[in-house]
């Protein structure tokens, strides 16, 4: 659990495996019910209530569901951006205008993803967002997030930092995935809030 980076990675892999194993046992009904509850909690967040542009993502498989939230944000008149995976694992962005604006994309041997089918806005489009919804596997008591390990959102967070952009960073998780501590590396950044089906937890960070 060192801040230097190297010792953390095996610990991260182990924690990822454990969380993904628990998620794999969820039923479709579990995922659907959680998605409705998550949307209700997230929509009450001031950071989303006042947002004009939200960079989000479309959940896949047993991930905490985001589609109900995306549609509710659109119904409020919010501009919703969704990512498109680039060959180097960076993310481009496109506007979400309903389920008809999505296309299924197979990325090599990886899981197929649904991505925006319209105009690509470029990787820097995320810097205009008022809030960014980040996928994750866990968040700890300090607000440190455990991702899947692909590095795409590390690039997003680094891009926001370079642009001196400060959107609200929000992670959507199941309740059991808010843990005491996750292993961190030097490049990891804390988030502002985590939303679960049962509530919201906020984190205060020093300036």
Give the tens place of pLDDT for each residue, 32-65. Answer: 999 999 999 999 999 898 899 999 999 988 999 9
* H helix intervals, the chain: 8-24, 28-43, 46-49, 67-75, 152-162
Annotated binding site for substrate: 58, 63
**Pick from 126, 71, 148, 64: which is nearest to 102 by CA?**
71
- Between 99 and 196, the higher pLDDT residue: 196
User: pTM for the whole thing?
Assistant: 0.89
- Residues in binding site for ATP: 12-16, 145-153
In angstroms, rounded to a whole number, what is the distance separating the alpha carbons of residues 89 and 158?
14
Q: What is the pLDDT of residues 104-114, one digit of tens each?
A: 888 776 677 88
pLDDT of residue 10: 60
Binding site, annotated residues: 12-16, 58, 63, 145-153
What is the per-residue pLDDT for 9? 62
Look at the domain 8-199 and name its fold: Rossmann fold (3.40.50)
- Strand pairing partners for 23? none
pLDDT at 5 over 50: no
Using DSSP, state whether 183 is helix, strand or coil.
coil
Helix/strand/coil for 101: helix
Nearest residue to 138 (alpha-carbon basis) of 172, 177, 171:
177
Confidence of residue 187 (pLDDT cuts 50, 70, 90): confident
pLDDT average, residue stretch 133-151: 92
How far, in Å, are 38, 122, 197 from residue 184 at the CA level? 26, 29, 25
Q: Is the pLDDT of residue 83 over 60?
A: yes
- Compute the distance between CA of residue 92 and CA of residue 37 in angstroms, rounded to an integer: 29
Question: Could you give the percent of the chain with pLDDT greater than 90?
Answer: 73
Residue 84 near residue 94, CB atoms below 8 Å: yes
Query: Domain residues of the chain, as ranges?
Result: 8-199
């Amino acid at each position: 659990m060192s801040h230097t980076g190297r010792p953390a990675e095996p610990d991260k892999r182990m924690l990822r495996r454990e969380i993904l194993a628990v998620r794999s046992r969820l039923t479709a009904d579990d995922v659907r019910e959680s998605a409705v509850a998550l949307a209700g909690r997230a929509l009450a967040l001031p950071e989303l209530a006042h947002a004009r542009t939200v960079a989000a993502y479309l959940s896949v498989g047993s991930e905490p569901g985001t589609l109900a939230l995306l549609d509710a944000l659109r119904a409020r008149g919010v501009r919703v951006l969704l990512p498109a995976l680039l060959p180097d694992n960076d993310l481009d962005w496109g506007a979400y205008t309903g389920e008809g604006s999505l296309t299924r994309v197979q990325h090599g041997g990886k899981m197929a993803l649904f991505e925006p089918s319209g105009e690509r806005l470029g990787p820097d489009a995320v810097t205009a967002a008022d809030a960014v919804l980040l996928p994750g596997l866990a968040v700890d008591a300090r607000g440190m997030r455990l991702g899947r390990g692909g590095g795409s959102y590390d690039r997003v967070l680094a891009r926001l930092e370079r642009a001196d952009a400060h959107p609200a960073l929000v992670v959507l998780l199941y309740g059991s995935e808010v843990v005491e501590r996750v292993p961190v590396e030097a490049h990891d950044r804390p988030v502002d809030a985590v939303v679960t089906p049962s509530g919201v937890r906020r984190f205060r960070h020093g300036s």
